[in-house]
Amino acid sequence: MRERLTRALHERGEEIADRWVELQMEQALLDTDIGEAELREEADALIEALVPGLRSGVPVDRVVTSTPGLHEAVVGLSLRRARAGATPTATSLAVLALKEALLKAVQRDTRDAEELFASAVFMNRLLDVAGALSFETYVEGREEIIRRQSQQLMEQSTPVVRLWRQVLAVPLIGTLDTARTQVVMENLLQAIQDHEALVAIVDITGVPTVDTAVAQHLMQTVNAVRLMGADCVISGVRPSIAQTIAQLGIDLSTILTRATLADALAAAIKLIDGPGPDGDEGDDR
Amino acid sequence: MTGQPQPGVPILRLGDVLVTGLLNELDDRTAIAFTEELTERISAEGARGVLIDISRLEVIDSFVARTLMELTTVARLLGARVIVAGMRPPVAITLVELGIELVGVETALNPEQGMAALGWRQAPQPLEGARRGTSR
Amino acid sequence: MAPPGEYTLASRGAKRPARAENRRPPAPATYPVRTEEDLLTVRHAVRAATVEVGFGLVDQTRVVTAASELARNAYVHGRGGTVTLEYPREPGGRRGLRLVVKDEGPGIADLDAALTDGFTTGGAWATGSVALVG
């Protein structure tokens, strides 16, 4: 059985690829801008990779996953579909359409019903795995896109603004989790370097609550700013937040905090003009 | 890849301030030799301030951090104030995330700010070309 | 805790994997950690690997610093060892970097804590992890 199929793939590869592409076009499920030429290229690569997979001694239902070239071909195909915006169903169906193309090729060699049936069963076992892998990859691919988009969104939603000569501010809106903290730190520290800023104001007016985790993230940000050689002021501490911080016993005593952004800016300017010549970490707070 | 031992890190003197910088390829031996030489110089020349430019350090692990902290403590005992200037943003982020501390180490944005903190006033009209030396 | 320590520092893929995605990953490579010079060589190799996989500057620094800590630990407390760089690939095609640091002695608990703190909480760049194997 395996041999027959391998031979069919080997001898009728072109034909199978043609038929497969045709089927995919017919399905018209691929409402994407993936063109025929690209489909053909994918088909050729996949069919070519199937031959060594079948020739290896691997059990049929593991051929797809354990043949390196084949695995990659299926993964690559699914990812391209995911990016092009095809649905996951269309993607799996496109992979499964290969069964039909293959069966057609086998049909050319034999008309024996029993043999054809056995071929069909064999192909199902071979390619159902590919369908599943395709689906899995597709989902993973979409998740990757979502991850990337949320990263972009996060970067856009943490603008660093210059308030005064050598004073920067970053207004935080929403919660401050680990991922967000990393983005804030990256943007803020880079801006400090670019602007040679001496004070960075982190405004938490838009942060709904401050729990221990958020406080820890704030501390991290402040410490990173200080390592750069700049000072950090936290502004927008509402009474309710101040109470929570006190109740939770979070120690923010080493951090300069102010109720409003305006107060923070005033404090920042005082820090810069400073009482003495020692412009850093001194007792000027 | 530089397999050969590095020459010592140069230490310059500007009035009562010693100015030096660490290179990216800081191996343990160089770090230790550097600490020793700097300590000697502070003591011998009666320096009151030390500026260490770290803008070229791409990685600060706990060993380098410890070296900087020890240096700060030793210098303080000898009557000199140490300022570490020009830490790169990725380095600062990594330090706080990994919880590597630089207790007691004073920092400055760049050598210029560091020198100012050590009591050096820059001329009202800085010379052209003298300002941008450390930015990347 | 078993004396022969082995760390796996895994990062589940780069933030910007697009450009490296379809290239063949380099073969795994193992570096000895026997001398102080070896530590420098390891840092170089890890830096090159993070660039290869497409990490951004901050992620590069995170990984190289962590690797430096682990390699130094193997050298100082573990009577030497090896650092192996691998390039695993996720089903989704994302390429990652895996660091396996093996040492030949005890004394791993302290670093474990230091690294877990920074890496298991890491969310944006990849939920990396430090796992103790063996």
The per-residue pLDDT for range A249-275, each reduced to its tens digit, is: 888 888 899 999 999 999 999 988 865
Question: HSE (CB half, 13 Å, CA atoms) of A266?
Answer: 7
* CA nearest neighbour of A103 among A85, A81, A121, A88: A121
CA-nearest residue of chain C to B93? C58
pLDDT band at A234 (very low <50, low <70, confident <90, very high): very high
pLDDT band at C105 (very low <50, low <70, confident <90, very high): low
CA-nearest residue of chain B to C123? B97
Q: Return d(Cα A249, Cα A236) in angstroms, integer.
A: 19
* Distance to chain A for C78, nearest Cα, Å: 31
First to last CA, chain A: 83
Residue B119 lies in a domain: no
* Distance to chain A for C52, nearest Cα, Å: 19
Give the residue carrying structure tokens 């797809």: A64
* Distance to chain B for C57, nearest Cα, Å: 7
As a whole number, the mean pLDDT across chain C is 69
C33 contacts in chain B (CB < 8 Å): none
B91 contacts in chain C (CB < 8 Å): 61
Domains, chain A: 2-154 (1.10.490), 161-273 (3.30.750.24)
Q: How many residues in chain C? A: 134
pLDDT digits (tens, 9 = 90+) for B42-70: 999 999 999 999 999 999 999 999 999 99
Residue B134 lies in a domain: no
Higher pLDDT: A107 or B127? It is: A107
Residue B135 lies in a domain: no
What ipTM was assigned to the predicted interfaces of this complex? 0.81
B90 contacts in chain C (CB < 8 Å): 57-58, 60-62
Inspect the interface and report whether the beta carbons of B93 and C39 lie closer than 8 Å. no
What proportions of chain C, in percent to the nearest 5, are helix, strand and coil?
Answer: 40, 20, 40
Number of domains composing chain B:
1
B-C interface: how many C-beta pairs under 8 angstroms?
63
- Return residues 95-134 of A near C (CB < 8 Å): 133
> What fold characterizes domain C6-110?
Heat Shock Protein 90 (3.30.565)
Inspect the interface and report whether the beta carbons of A277 and B119 lie closer than 8 Å. yes
In the three-class reduction of DSSP (H, G, I as helix; E, B as strand; rest coil), residue B122 is classed as coil
pTM: 0.66
Inspect the interface and report whether the beta carbons of B117 and A220 lie closer than 8 Å. no
* Distance to chain B for A238, nearest Cα, Å: 27
Inspect the interface and report whether the beta carbons of B107 and A192 lie closer than 8 Å. no
- Return residues 19-78 of C near B (CB < 8 Å): 36-37, 39-41, 43-44, 47, 57-58, 60-62, 64-66, 68-69, 72
The mean per-residue pLDDT over the stretch B73-86 comes to: 95
* CA nearest neighbour of A39 among A54, A51, A27: A27
Residue B129 lies in a domain: no
- At position C109, the amino acid (one-letter code) is A
Question: Which residues span the domain enclosing B58?
Answer: 11-114
